[in-house]
A and B are shown apart, each in its own frame.
Chain A
Amino acid sequence: MTTMDERVTDEVEALEAILLDDVVIKRVDGVPQAIETVVHPSTGDDADQQYVCVTLEVKLTPAYPDTSPDVILRNPRGLDDQLLSSINSQIKEKLSDCLGQPVVFELIELIRENLTESNLPSGQCAICLYGFVDGDVFIKTQCYHHFHSHCLASHLTAGERNYQEELEKLPHWQRSQTPPYQQSCPVCRSTVSCDVDALRRAPPPVESLAAPPFCLTAELKALQLQMAALLARQVAKGGVVCPGDSGPPPLTITTPAADDEAANSSPNDPQDGAKSDAFGTRNGHTSAEHSSPGSPRRPAYRGPYRGFNRRGKPGRGARGPR
């Protein structure tokens, strides 16, 4: 066994003394091989205010510190690629500056400074796809994923509702054996525990309120025509499911939900007649002359397909045009 470089043993000792459980030293035959620690921004000791973090792994080379160690950043949370590559190039610089002396503390400090400067999650909320800006109320899960509180509340509420619905489908004797509802992170499915009522009080994401409305561009229209033409060619070859059906395909059946929507809107919507025509939800408007694929007056594809239960007969009795 080679004698350990005193500079290395001193550094490792100091790291363990200061970082305690927050640092992992990997040793082989008592010789330190790698040092690993999760770096957070400086926020006093307030972990709730830390929105970003990254795992630093330093693999010591046999001649370290006279040669540079291999440095790897893993599991970045809340950091975008641009910041990560900036930190990586600063690390490279630091390594060449510090050749010949222990560098791990310097690296931790350098990364921490960067994280403290950008301690606001970058990227988007995975639920609404909008960013985090001033005025947004957002939350960091235990797994370091960020969501607008408003969005996470919607997810958790829907998750619990789906769980209840599935539970009610089970026979009584199975319900008691089913594990209780467990909140989970939408991104990594880790279990989380959040106060949904508190989250729900948060305002919706700022950027989503200012987003421009939907408009059908010329580009989209051109693509629609291409799609329709392709479909028409496949129909002609008999390559489409249910080719004998002159109406729209089964996913597009009229559903009670669609009818309800139209009915609900009628008392305060003077244009209901026109809308029923455009969407074909009312009797008689989805007649066959409009149903050829590619026709601009094709009946609307509007109803959710309700035949996804595997044993059911999809679309039975609910198909719109006959």
Chain B
Amino acid sequence: MAALPRRIIKETQRLMQEPVPGISAVPSETNARYFHVIVTGPEDSPFEGGLFKLELFLPEDYPMSAPKVRFITKIYHPNIDRLGRICLDILKDKWSPALQIRTVLLSIQALLSAPNPDDPLANDVAELWKVNESEAIRNAKEWTRRYAMDN
């Protein structure tokens, strides 16, 4: 395996030394490009109190191309599909090498605070979010309680 780029090492160290509140990212023991991630559900969102596990992979040409990120914990969100894939522009065409693991995860946390049913990935969820927002939020809370609460 090619040597790990210095930037990845530096990001990893900084994630440990100056952790982002509500976010932890730890490299796998067997692959320093693969990160185990936990994002806590933001306050005042239907995901509050949840611990959401994600996986994040830095491709070969990172930071010239975006990390691959996916939810592992089930989540009821219009921009996240049932396989955990995330619809977020900075993970696709709006990626820039000035973004980092921490900024990507912060953006994902922000997406939990501000679901955008007009740009859906999970169509049935987005549909309900548009026609009956209170029921959708109830579902999101229920999923959070059932799958993401650690107790």
Q: List A residues at the B interface (Cβ < 8 Å).
A: 126-130, 151, 154-155, 157-158, 162, 166, 186-187, 189, 208, 211-214, 216-217, 219-221, 223-224, 227-228, 230-231, 233-234, 237-242, 249-252, 257, 261, 265, 275, 278-279, 296, 298, 300-302, 304-305, 307-308, 310, 314
Contact = CB atoms under 8 A, between A and B. Distances in A.
A240 B72 contact: yes
B16 interface: yes
Contacts of B12: 214
A183 to B, nearest CB: 12
Interface stretch (B3-11, B41-49, B104-112, B131-139): B3-11
Chain B interface size band reads 35 or more
Interface in B16-65: 16, 24, 26-34, 36, 38, 51, 53, 55, 57, 59-61, 63-65
Contacts of B93: 166
B68 A308 contact: yes
A278 B36 contact: no
A302 to B, nearest CB: 5
A265 B9 contact: no
B126 to A, nearest CB: 13
B90 to A, nearest CB: 11
A18 to B, nearest CB: 37
B97 A186 contact: yes
Nearest to B121: A310
Interface string B54-84: 0101011101110010111110000000111
A251 B70 contact: yes
12 contacts: A166-B93, A213-B3, A214-B4, A224-B28, A228-B36, A240-B53, A242-B83, A279-B31, A304-B57, A304-B59, A305-B70, A308-B68
